[in-house]
Amino acid sequence: MSCPGDVFYSWDAHNHSGDRGVCGIAKSQAQATAQLSQALADLAQGATGIIRLTSLDRLAGAYNYGRVIMRARHDESGVVLVGGG
């Protein structure tokens, strides 16, 4: 059972080969965007990341991961936020 206030934004970033990455969860999309951008900047060019809507199922004690709302990448121009899913 999730409640209306239990909406979060989960994010993850990984390098091009997929052997190094980082993830997190934030209460606001702006906070998730800032954290994802920093994580991508810390990874080498070619790194990619996403932000998804996430809810907390209090009965199961687990997160339910929803649709991707933003994609991002680190390329030669820096961190580029690509937009929705």
* pLDDT tens-digit readout, 5-18: 589 999 999 998 87
Tens digits of per-residue pLDDT, 51-69? 999 998 888 888 899 999 9
Which whole number is the average pLDDT over 23-43?
95
Which whole number is the average pLDDT over 18-29?
92
Output the pLDDT for position 3: 56
CA distance 48 to 41: 10
Q: Where does residue 76 rank: exposed (0-12), middle (13-18), buried (19+ CB within 10 A)?
A: exposed
48-57/78-83 β-pairing: unpaired
Boundaries of every domain in the chain: 7-83
Q: Which two tokens stand for residue 51?
A: 């932000």
Q: Is 29 helix (H, G, I), strand (E, B) or coil?
A: helix
Task: With CA atoms as reference, report the closest residue to 75 among 43, 31, 38.
Answer: 43
